[in-house]
Amino acid sequence: MATERKGSEASRLSVSGPSTAISPALHIVAEADCDTLKPAMTAGVTPVTASLPPYPPYHCEVCNPHHTRLRTFTKLIRGWWSVELASMALSFVTFGFYVGLLKYYDQKTIDDDDWFIGRPFSPFHSIQALTAQIGTVMRVCMGLPVAAAMGQLKWHHYRQGSGQVVFKLQEFDAASRGVAGSLKLLFSKHRLHSPNITLGGIFFIGTLYLSTAVQNTLSQARGHHRWQPTSSRFPNSSLPYSTYYNFSAWADMTATDREYLHADPGLKSAVLTGWANPNNLYRLVKGNSLPLSCSTDSCRWQNMTSLDINYACNTSQITRSPGGYVSSDQANITNRIEVKGASGIPTSTPVQLRIQTSDAIPDNSSFRGGLYDGPVMIAHIAAISDSGRIIGKSRQRSAQEAVECVLYWQIRTDFEMTYNDTQKRFIAGKVIENATAWVEPSQGPGRPGNITFEGPCNRGSNSTIYSGDGDCLYKVSIDAHNGFQRYLREFVKGSVRPAASTTDGADSGFLPDTWAVDMLWWSWMRNLDAQDPSPLRSAVGDYVYRLAQRTTDAIRAPSADWMQGDVWTDEYYEIRWRYVLFLCAMLVASVYLFFFAMWRTREMPAWKTSLLPFLYHGFGAPAREQGDDFSNLAWMEKASGRKKVVLRDDGDGLGLKLRDFKV
Q: Residue range 593-598: average pLDDT?
A: 91
**382, pLDDT greater than 90:** yes
**pLDDT tens digits along 491-525:** 999 999 877 554 444 555 678 989 999 999 988 98
Q: What is the residue range of 22's domain?
A: 2-78+608-660
Neighbours of 206 (CB within 10 A): 17
Q: What is the DSSP letter of 407?
A: E
**pLDDT tens digits along 125-141:** 678 888 888 999 999 99
Q: Residue range 176-200: average pLDDT?
A: 86
Same domain for 72 and 174? Answer: no
Position 386 in a domain: yes
Quote the pLDDT of residue 502.
46
Same domain for 260 and 376? Answer: yes
Q: Residue range 631-658: average pLDDT?
A: 79
Same domain for 266 and 371? Answer: yes
Measuring CA to CA, which residue among 369, 221, 309 is closest to residue 547? 309
CA distance 366 to 477: 27
Same domain for 158 and 20? Answer: no
Q: Residue range 588-616: average pLDDT?
A: 84
CA distance 82 to 621: 27
How far lies 320's CA from each of 57, 335, 339, 354, 386, in Å?
134, 10, 20, 16, 10
Position 277 in a domain: yes
Position 232 in a domain: no
Among 1-5, 92-96, 190-194, 198-202, the least confident range: 1-5
Quote the percentage of the chain above a pLDDT of 70.
67
- More confident of the two residues 450 and 462: 450
Quote the pLDDT of residue 427.
55
Average pLDDT, the chain: 75
Quote the percentage of the chain above a pLDDT of 90.
20
Neighbours of 541 (CB within 10 A): 18
**pLDDT tens digits along 215-243:** 888 877 665 555 656 654 455 778 888 88
Among 73-77, 80-84, 314-318, 442-446, the least confident range: 73-77
For 211, residues 6+ apart whose C-beta sits below 8 A from its C-beta are: 132, 135, 136, 139
**pLDDT tens digits along 632-644:** 777 777 777 777 8
CA distance 166 to 617: 13
Tell me if the pTM is above 0.85. no
Quote the pLDDT of residue 518.
92
Same domain for 106 and 137? Answer: yes
Position 556 in a domain: yes
CB 621 within 8 A of CB 242: no
Position 453 in a domain: no
**What residue ranges in 443-493 does DSSP mark as E strands?**
450-455, 465-466, 472-477
Measuring CA to CA, which residue among 436, 452, 432, 318 is closest to residue 373? 436
**58, pLDDT greater than 50:** no
Q: Residue range 307-317: average pLDDT?
A: 92
The runs of H, that is alpha helices, within 176-254 are 179-186, 195-206, 210-216
Same domain for 73 and 87? Answer: no
Same domain for 552 and 650? Answer: no
Quote the pLDDT of residue 408.
93
Position 454 in a domain: no
Measuring CA to CA, which residue among 597, 451, 530 is closest to residue 151? 597
Position 470 in a domain: no
The count of domains in the chain is: 3
Position 542 in a domain: yes
Quote the pLDDT of residue 90.
95
